[in-house]
Structures are given as structure tokens and as C-alpha cells.
Amino acid sequence: MKNVVVVGSQWGDEGKGKIVDWLSSEADVVVRFQGGHNAGHTLVIDKKVFKLRLLPSGIVRAGKISILGNGVVIDPWALLSEIEEIKKKGVNVTPENFMISDTASLILPFHQEMDEIREDAAGKSKIGTTRRGIGPCYEDKVGRRSIRVMDLASESNLDARLENVLKHHNAIRKGLKKKIYKKEVLKKNLLNIAPKILKFAKPVWLELDKFKNSRKKILFEGAQGILLDVDHGTYPYVTSSNTVPSTAATGSGSGPDKIGYILGITKAYTTRVGSGPFPTELNNQIGENLGKRGKEFGTVTARKRRCGWFDGVLVRQTIKISGINGIALTKLDVLDDLDEIKMCVEYELKGKKINYLPAATEDQFNIKPIYKSFPGWKTNTQGIRNMKDLPENAKKYIYALEDFIGAKISSISTSPERDDTILIEDPFKFN
């Protein structure tokens, strides 16, 4: 039985939501294993739009089990709000179809405030976070002072844990001349919502072991993209967690031996939200048009995404780092109107050609892309579901992209609709 991990091979926003939803028709269990409510997935099902932030994409399908693993950081109020929001659209969320790891860390109000304080103070050097408190929460987790889901079950334990974490945060807040958080107020607010959260809490690692033993198909759903990985991304312009597929094991309590196929979601061009290097960015009309046609605005923040040509060097690098088996190519139809399409196949840095993204931030900002050009197809590809129906120039671009990055293209998405997908290789049936 093949369990599948889905990750973004670029800077996120590659269209993972649709692909995970599409794959979840075969899966029995869908697991989020890192990130928080800074990662948004947009699903379009029978023309109904679902914008998910924390809930796994499988939640919209009847008969599926959705899980938030221990590697996810959870804003409990945001989660409860999202559950109520999706219930209004006819999706039922119960302990039978949704569970949370009892060891997941909680994002608290002072985490979000610290995120905002740091971003505002950074000026031109700001990272471009979503200001949701993700980073500060991960810092507390690593610092062994975070409040975890299980802590909500005991008032005395919660009291001790809050005492510990507030010693740290209030000391910083004093120095910044910000208001001090009062433990009793925060404790009261947490105990008030505790029953609503705890009814979903379980030892997820144990549940996953049961699912594996009963040969359930498990789909692991990554957030953001590999280029935002805290170790392998464009540091410091990254997220606060590891986004590479190996994190599916540690972020859920499932052994790496249970992962059978790694699917990298890859946009047919490149986008990025927030600050940081972007070698192929197009600050011109072509970039503007890509953004308009691709509706490139963040699901969570509605921030406008920066757009550019497909960067083959970067995707080839993320494939090597993460062990991606196949690529789901998305938003091919956004390129339909272009006379010429370009792909970055090399960089130039200080007069020398290089074939990888250098680690130094200064170098990342200074590299210049070297392109290979392809003729556009000037034909509508939206909604095509068979490879043979694609225009020849589109096929040439796809085959050249596949050859350069060194990974098989297993599917091609031609619209936001679930069924507008060309399936070449089924990850769940891969040998």
C-alpha cells in the first residue's frame, strides 16, 4: 500500500489544495504535518469555493478522516472559527472525521502580537510573515515552554505551563514597553474553549499505526513550499518549520518507512509572497498579466503574489533535496495567451555561471537568470483532461520542463476545478 506525501516544490501557493483534494478521493486519511493557519488552500468543488487554513483538504470529503499532526502549531480560536465557517457550507466536523495530536503546540495571543511587533520593527528587512504567530510559537516549542493541546485537560498543569511561558514573554514585553499578559485571564480563556478542542485530541501516532495496520491509504499534506523550509529555503526569508517531505514522518509520528510516494506540486511559472530573493521575478506587464490570469492573491492574507518565469534550477534543486518521485504541474492554462515562454536553466553570479541557488542571501539577491525560450501555444487549454488534446507547443514546454528538472510529470492541472486534471501516473498505484 502506497502512502503519499504532497509538498510544494517552490515558494508555496502551487495549487496543493486542489491536488490534495483530488487525491483524497482515493485516500482514507489526510494528515497535515507542519505549519499553521498561515498556510491557505483553496478548493473549488461544484463551483463552491472552500478556503481552508488549518483543516486538511480531506475534510470536505465524506467518509475521510482528517488529522492535524504534532508538527502543526494550532491557534485554537482560529481552528474553532474555521470549523464553524465550514459547517455553514454543509461540511460536518466531528471527532469521528477529525482529530488533533494531543502533543501539538498552541498559538496564543502573545505569539501573534510578537510576530507583529517584530515585523513592524524590521522595516525594509522584514521577512514577510503572515503575522499569525507561527514563528514565535515554534520558538516556544523548541525552547520547551509551549502550551500543548494536552495541557488544556488539567487546570493545575495549565497554570504551571502558563507561568513558565509568560516569564519569558513578559520579560521581553517589558523591555519593549508593551503590556504584560496576565496569567489568570489567559488561563480562563483557554479553559473556556478547552472542551471544544479536547474532544478532537488523540495520540495521533497511535491512530496512524492502527490505520497502517489496517492498510488504510494515508495522504500527508504539506503546507507552504520547500523553498520556505527553515533549513533548505531562502533563509532568513523562510517559514519557521521544515517543509520537506521527510517532515511528514516527524510531524505526525509515522515512520519514514511508511511513505511510498512523494508528489511535488509545481506551478508552470513561479510565484512568491512576501520578501526575499526571486531570481526570475517579472516586474513588468507580463508579470502583471500572470498575476491577473492566475488570480495570484494569498488565500489567508489576500496579499498580491510576485510572479515570474518558471525557475528550473530551483525546482531541480528542491527535487534533489526532497526525493520527489513525481510532479503535479499546475496552472498551465495561465500561460495560454503568451507569445513566448521562458524557463530559467542557469544562473550568472559575479561573471560565472552556476547551476544551483547559492546559500548566501546576498548572492541569492544578485544572481541573474539565464533563460531558454519556447514558443507559446496561443490556444485555450483550460479544462483539458487528456494529454493528446494539448497543443503541440504546450507539450514541448512540458516535456522540456520534465527533462530539465529530472522528475516525471505525473499529472497536469488545467483549471481550479477538481476534475480538470490530466492523470499520467497515479501516486497511490506507483511501483
**Cell triple for 92:** 460536518
Q: How far apart are CA 13 and CA 271, in angstroms?
A: 7
3-class secondary-structure state, position 156: helix
Q: How far is CA 55 from the centre of its chain?
A: 12
**Cell triple for 114:** 510578537
Considering the candidates 21, 28, 37, 41, report the single residue annotated as catalytic.
41
The residue whose grid cell reads 515570474 is 308
**Cell triple for 151:** 495541557
The residue whose grid cell reads 466536523 is 93
The residue whose grid cell reads 547559492 is 358
* Count of C-beta atoms within a 10 Å radius of residue 96: 8
Helices 109-122 and 134-142, interaxial angle, to 10°? 110
Residue 41 annotated among the catalytic residues of the structure:
yes
Question: Could you give the angle at the alpha carbon of 109 between the alpha carbons of 105 and 113, nearest 5°?
Answer: 115
**Is-contact 264 229, C-beta < 8 A?**
no
Considering the candidates 13, 151, 229, 420, report the single residue annotated as catalytic.
13
Q: How far apart are CA 4 and CA 44, in angstroms?
A: 22
Q: Is the dihedral of CA 313, 317, 320, 323 positive or negative?
A: negative
Residue 107 per-residue DSSP state: P
3-class secondary-structure state, position 45: strand
Q: Provide the β-strand partners of residue 384.
A: none
**Torsion of the alpha carbons at 150, 154, 159 and 165, rounded to the nearest 10:** -10
**Is-contact 339 387, C-beta < 8 A?**
no
The residue whose grid cell reads 514546454 is 397
Does residue 140 come out as left (phi exceeding 0), alpha (psi in the -120 to 50 range) or beta? alpha
Question: Which residues, 6+ apart, have CB-to-CB distance to 382 below 8 Å?
Answer: 333, 336, 414, 415, 420
Most distant CA atoms of the chain, gap in Å? 67
Residue 13 annotated among the catalytic residues of the structure:
yes
| C-alpha closest to that of 12 among 260, 248, 330 | 330
Give the catalytic positions in this structure.
13, 41
